[in-house]
Amino acid sequence: MSAWRGQVAFVTGGASGIGLGMAEAFASAGMLVTIADIEQPALVAAVAQLAAKGLHVETMVLDVRDLGAFQAAAEALASRHGRVDLVCNNAGVVFERDAADWTDAGWRWVLDVNLMGVVHGYQAFLPILKRQGRGHFVNTASVTGLLGRAHIGQYGATKFAIVGLSQTMREELAPDGVGVHVLCPGKVMTNIMHATRNAPPQLRSNGRLATIAAPPLTPKPAGLRDVSDAFEVGRMVLAAVEEDVFYILTDLTWAAEIAAEQAKLRDGLAWLEKREAAPSRG
């Protein structure tokens, strides 16, 4: 019997992509799952898709930018089930331009959904998990929250922020018995590159949004594995939470580049050590 059976999970951005994959994995493990999404039709489709596999989830429409709605959702979930065990702050969008084409409106939308959506998840559910003295947050960042990439500055900046926020909350909440984990997926099949369907009107020009191409990906080195199945990512999340893994990575494609970035940090430390050891100049 799964150790997760009967436990309560809440997933934002749960009607598609990684969110739906997590919902399927959680429900398959016997959890009581509620998925939240800004799109009602997508929620209806998600329920039907999971029902076809013999799985049941509850749903709610939620705009993660709305703290009051988030708090109401958290209290409703805790009231209905008497507990909340796993909160996945997963909702995210992409609205990317080169730096020369950035707008405040574009930045505000990406920041409000990607970063403030996570912040609101903490604010809404933290009182509940602290009262319980147990529970876990899983925040969806990205491998681009570990490695900066050209042409995705807005998205990457929010994902770096989620990693940093997760590090802070991991330290702050450990004494309360609340675990924090950060999911940094690589190449996973999702709908995020079509997230502009939900963009606010001020980002539209002549009623339309320009097509946004997916950012270029580094070719996969020979012998390394891509994880492209969102359900498998959901299973990874459960395993990582059970084993108290903080950084949840989904494939080895980026291993060399992560190591190279770590080497640059070590170079910076070595430079500082050398500078500090040098005799002062009069």
pLDDT tens digit string along 128-146? 999 999 999 999 999 999 9
Among the listed residues 155, 162, 180, 190, the single catalytic one is 155
Concatenating the DSSP letter of every residue in 91-118 gives: --------GGG--HHHHHHHIIIIIHHH
| Region 183-201 average pLDDT | 61
Instruction: Say which amino acid occupies 195.
Output: A
- What phi and psi values does residue 57 have, to the nearest 5 degrees? -135, 155
| pLDDT category of residue 152 using cuts at 50, 70 and 90 | confident
What pLDDT score was predicted for residue 182? Answer: 98
**For residue range 216-254, what is the model confidence (pLDDT) as tens digits?**
333 434 433 454 689 999 999 999 999 999 999 998 888
Binned at pLDDT 50, 70 and 90, residue 198 comes out as low
Q: Is the pLDDT of residue 7 over 80?
A: yes
Whether residue 155 is predicted with pLDDT greater than 80 in this model: the reply is: yes
Read off the pLDDT band of 192 (50, 70, 90).
very low
Q: State how far the Cα of 178 lies from the Cα of 30, in Å rounded to an integer.
A: 21
> What digits encode the pLDDT tens for the residues 69-98?
999 999 999 999 999 999 999 999 987 767
- Position 146 scores a pLDDT of 95
Tell me what pLDDT residue 229 has: 85
Backbone phi, psi, residue 95, to 5°:
-140, 90
Other beta carbons within 10 Å of 178 = 23
User: Which ranges in the chain belong to alpha helices (H)?
Assistant: 17-28, 40-51, 67-81, 104-110, 116-132, 153-173, 230-242, 255-277
Q: In the chain, what are the domains?
A: 8-253 (3.40.50.720)
- CA 54 – CA 74 distance, rounded (Å): 26
On whether the CB atoms of residues 142 and 159 are closer than 8 A, the answer is yes
Does the active-site annotation cover 155? yes
For range 261-267, the mean pLDDT: 96
**Range with lowest mean pLDDT among 112-121, 249-258, 262-271:** 249-258
**DSSP character for 82?**
S
Burial 18-34 (b: 16+ CB within 10 A, else e): bbbbbbbbbbbbebbbb
What is the average pLDDT value for the chain, to the nearest integer?
Answer: 87
C-alpha separations of 158 from 45, 70, 140 in Å: 29, 20, 11
Average pLDDT over residues 86-114: 88
pLDDT at 46: 97
pLDDT tens-digit readout, 16-25: 999 999 999 9
What integer pLDDT is reported at residue 251 of this predicted model?
Answer: 87
**Cβ contact 248:182 at 8 Å:** yes
